Chains A and B, each alone.
Chain A
Amino acid sequence: MSDDRKQRSAGVALFLNDVLPGQRVLVKKHHSAGAIRQRLMDLGLLADTPVDVVRTAPLKDPIQIQLDTYNVALRRAEAATIEVVEIN
């Protein structure tokens, strides 16, 4: 846990889970495997795809993201496996 925090605060890795609503990021890398990974990619979460984090559910989980023209809901647990980079 603490390792993770350090890594993130150092700006090494940003995960979709940590992106605030209203921000746009690019997908960098998937850290999941198997069916989950396939499903995320099928939904269009491919490398270099822009993703808008639209909102979090009223209870903070899951989150709603927009890709291209469609909206997808996914749990934070899965969002935490998607490495992203900020767009400047």
Chain B
Amino acid sequence: MRQEATIALLGQQNAGKTTLFNALTGARQYVANYPGVTVEKKSGRYSFNGQSTLVVDLPGTYSLTSFSPEERVTQEFLLTQKPQVCVNVVDAANLRRSLNLTMQLLEMGQNVVLALNMLDVATRRGITISVDQLSSRLGIPVVETVGSKGQGCKNLKEEISAVEQLTNSSAYEIDYGPLEGSIKDIEAMLVGTNVSLPASSRWFAIKLLEQDQYATQLITKLCEASVVTELEQKVSEANRCFFDQYGADISDHVINVRNAIIRSIISDALTTKGTGRGSVSKKIDSVVLNRIGAPIFLILTVYLIYQASIVWGYELTNYTWPYLAKTREILSGFLPAAGFIEDPYTRALGLWLIDSANTLLNYVPIFLILFALIAILEDSGYMARIAFILDRILNRFGLHGQSTLPLILGGVFAGGCAVPAIMATKGIPDNRARMATIFAVPFMNCLAKVPLYTLLLGIFFVEDKSLMTFYISTMTVIFALLVSKLLTKTVLKGQETSPFVMELPSYHVPTIGGVLRRSIERTWVYIKKVGTIVVAVAVVVFTLLQFPGLPEDRMQHYEAQAVVALDKFQSKVAGSAYENLASEAEVVGLVNFYNDYRRAKLNAKGAAASRKVAKDFKARNAEFYAVVKPPKGDKDAKAASRALRKLIKERNSLRRDLKEERLSSSLLGAIGRSMEPVTQYAGFDWKINIALLSSFAARESSVATLGVLFQQSDSENASLEERMGDETKAGGATALLAVSMILFFALYPPCLATTVMVRVQTGSYLWMVFSILFPTFLGLTVSSIVFTAGTYFSLTGIEAMSIVYFAALALVIAIGLKSERTNSGTLINNRHSSEVSL
């Protein structure tokens, strides 16, 4: 049995490598009609004729140079891993440009199999390619494939296994005319060193003459210093001589010679009939990219995404939420029962965890729809057009046309999630813009910010709700742009940049399978990443809320009160038929029975379900049931029932007081208080501090925490809005404080899951810490200024918000106009400086 063979899939961006990879290995990697989707290499296996083969899917590259990270990854992989076979995936509809890479692979001495992919598209455009001609001119097997339909995979595997057997293939040689002398010289020097090179000496000679960074580094590492110096001298002299004689750089000459050969191969092997090349795409483009159509379709698209995922998605959660509630019921049944005034820790923690997980899972329908729509955008080819339309605006703020996708995922105006959004920044080729996008995305309206906004608007801005909603939803984009501009000018200044050159792929009809797969996968990533972290942090926050707990004497105080309440109940039922229920042990069971029954009734939909609940509970404990729901005419039961309800009311109020007292003396409470000296300028008291702190775990917990903090006291059924409204307003809180909170929340650091993603995408803990500290500082500064100045000038909430909004808007417009001028300035400078260097 032979050793496992390694084969590499290489080709240009969007040629269909990942699609073929999936077809070959049965794996499920992301595909999209959007260049640069695969950025890291991925591997998988298949077995053919009993022989196992390892397939590596490489990022898309146009050539084998060292200018971009993908190209470096690919070149390094080829030279160090030495795959047995390179499957060069080419887009048959764009054969000419694709062959550039093929030639380079051949010159390098790789065993190449050409996969002529997208044959269906080529045929539709009237392009016919002679496989025999192509194969004989290049001297390699050529296989026709349609990756999206899985066609040609078997042939491909056969050819791969045939080529695998080959051991010594002679490298393909191109005659570089006047350069040949220098190539021979350097080749001789390399051979003379007796160093074993990972590719042919001729290939290295050409690469050195082209002054390729990676090849030069490799030779420097492999050869002795004296040889390296000699080589360097030779190369620079050859370059100078060549330029003097022919007026061109060696690298240009190499490309031109290669291209001349490609042209001749194309003219032999390819025939095009008809003029309908990409005419459908052309027609669509002429509508969606013209000056009137572009904004209309763009706004329509964003609106549709909003409507379908956020509005309809929320409606969908009305149908899915009962299932989550039911799960909670079932799970809570496994936990130890509630105590009279205090619950066992396992129960409290268990419920806390279930509730945290449920808030998160509640968003799943929304994300499924959102991610499916975005997959359609990507796969259809329209996403690339959005990048084209918006590049100019985004570029002025240090971003990139391709920042659009992450920004949309992050929630342009109505809710997304920063975790998948930051993941999607991978595709941005310009490193500085990519970093700026990573830090700008958390300022977008993530779905979990919405509940807090809704809460605050409901309390303080009942009349100006729509105006405030408009401010909040558009303000995020403004802040994101300002922040990315600021960062680009400061901390990101030194980052590498690269030009915006992007292919606009032809439109495809997205496949249902592909869209579903990507939507489910992205949602799964959200659940996994956010889920694990939320649960972990929920435990921490829970602990911080519980400990150190109440001092002994306070606990005794509550227990004494509980005894009083219980005594009252006992004396009321004493002497009645239900007297035996009043013993200590039974009462707790009865109280829990009552609560369970009430909840089950609430969850039951329809008369039949309601009857079933009644039947079940009767079966569970007939005696309890009689007290909970007294039968007609049973006076004793009625009296007991009344006493029970009174008892439960007293118990609830006791538990509430206890919880609040425990919270305020808890570690988190202490932390919240210790922050007051700083946060007072923003108007935040310790309760708000706690809510904001816990929202760092996951934004959705801010509202939940506020719910705990603003416990309802007397009125049983007051909503959180009313309770918080009453309490905060009584404490002197104003709409101005709400504005301060909203602003802080808009600028607040990303949730923990997002910062972990920042760590993954930037590869550095330092940037991760930065992504937490910077927004905290920014948010506190802005909120403090607004609150303090607002209080001083006694502004109303809406006045303060309007001032902030228009100030930010004015700043954005000013920067947009100003950077245009500087941009065109550098443009001219560039040209002059490069003219000199030529």
Binding site for B on A (CB under 8 A): 1, 4, 30-36, 38-44, 46-47, 54-55, 57-62, 64, 67-78, 80-81
Contact = CB atoms under 8 A, between A and B. Distances in A.
Contacts of A34: 67
B813 interface: no
Given A1-B828, A35-B68, A59-B392, A78 B838 contact: no
Given A57-B294, A74-B502, A80-B827, 16 more contacts: A33-B837, A39-B501, A42-B62, A43-B503, A44-B96, A46-B256, A58-B289, A64-B285, A67-B97, A69-B93, A70-B94, A73-B391, A73-B500, A78-B501, A80-B830, A80-B831
Interface in B537-571: none
Contact of A69 (B277, B499, B834): B277
Contacts of B838: 31
A55 to B, nearest CB: 6
B827 A77 contact: yes
A67 B395 CA distance: 25
A47 B142 CA distance: 29
Interface centre among B125, B291, B499 (most CB of A within 10 A): B499
Interface string B640-665: 00000000000000000000000000
Nearest to A39: B501
A70 B392 contact: no
B499 A72 contact: no
Given A35-B67, A58-B289, A73 B502 contact: yes
Given A31-B831, A31-B838, A38-B67, A69 B500 contact: no
Contacts of A69: 93-94, 125, 127, 277-278
Contacts of A1: 828
Interface centre among A41, A42, A67 (most CB of B within 10 A): A42
Contact of A58 (B295, B498, B501, B826): B295
A68 B504 contact: no
B355 to A, nearest CB: 47
A77 B500 CA distance: 9
Contacts of B94: 68-70
B261 to A, nearest CB: 12
A13 B542 CA distance: 71
Contacts of A70: 93-94, 97, 503
Interface string B125-168: 10100000000000000000000000000000000000000000
Contacts of B503: 43, 70-73
A81 B834 contact: yes
Nearest to A60: B392
Nearest to B501: A74
A72 B65 contact: no
Interface string B494-514: 000011111110000000000
A40 B502 CA distance: 10
A54 B503 CA distance: 13
B392 A42 contact: no
Contacts of A35: 67-68, 498-499
A76 to B, nearest CB: 7
B391 A62 contact: yes
Contacts of B127: 69
Chain B contact residues, majority secondary structure: helix
Contacts of A59: 389, 392-393
Contacts of B710: none
A47 B202 CA distance: 25
A4 B62 contact: no
A64 B502 CA distance: 9
B255 interface: yes
Contact of B100 (A4, A32, A42): A42
Contact of A55 (B289, B295, B392, B401): B289
A43 B68 contact: no
A69 B289 CA distance: 19
Given A57-B289, A69-B125, A72-B504, A41 B827 contact: no
Contacts of A62: 388, 391-392, 401, 500
Given A39-B498, A77-B499, A58 B291 contact: yes
Interface string B810-825: 0000000000000100
B33 interface: no
A76 B827 contact: yes
A71 B278 CA distance: 10
B67 A47 contact: no
Contacts of B252: 30, 41, 47
A1 B828 CA distance: 7
B388 A42 contact: no
Nearest to A42: B62
B175 interface: no
Contacts of B220: none
Contacts of A54: 285
Which 3 pairs across A and B sit closest by C-beta, in order of nearness? A42-B62, A35-B67, A71-B504
Contact of A72 (B100, B392, B502): B502
A85 to B, nearest CB: 16
Interface in B214-264: 252, 255-256, 259
B160 to A, nearest CB: 26
Interface in B52-86: 62-63, 65, 67-68
Interface string B251-295: 010011001000000000000000001100100010001110011
A59 B294 CA distance: 10
A74 B500 CA distance: 6
Nearest to A67: B97
B389 A75 contact: no
Nearest to A1: B828
10 contacts: A32-B830, A39-B68, A55-B289, A55-B290, A58-B295, A58-B389, A70-B97, A76-B827, A78-B499, A78-B500
B826 to A, nearest CB: 8
Nearest to B838: A31
A39 B71 CA distance: 11
B835 interface: yes
Contact of A39 (B67, B388, B401, B834): B67
Contacts of B294: 57-58
Contacts of B96: 44, 68
Nearest to B388: A73
Contacts of B499: 35-36, 39, 74-75, 77-78
Contacts of B502: 72-74
A41 B100 CA distance: 10
A36 B498 contact: yes
A61 B273 CA distance: 33
B830 A77 contact: yes
Contact of B830 (A42, A57, A81): A81
B533 to A, nearest CB: 37
Contacts of A47: 252, 256
B65 A38 contact: yes
A1 to B, nearest CB: 6
Contacts of B100: 42
Contacts of A61: 391-392, 395
A75 B834 contact: no
A39 B306 CA distance: 36
A79 to B, nearest CB: 10
Contact of B834 (A33, A57, A73): A33
B388 A57 contact: yes
Contacts of B259: 46
Contacts of B291: 58
A78 B65 CA distance: 20
A1 B388 CA distance: 27
B66 to A, nearest CB: 9
A20 to B, nearest CB: 15
A73 B63 contact: no
B837 to A, nearest CB: 6
A34 B212 CA distance: 10
A67 to B, nearest CB: 8
Nearest to B127: A69
Contact of B62 (A31, A32, A39, A71): A39
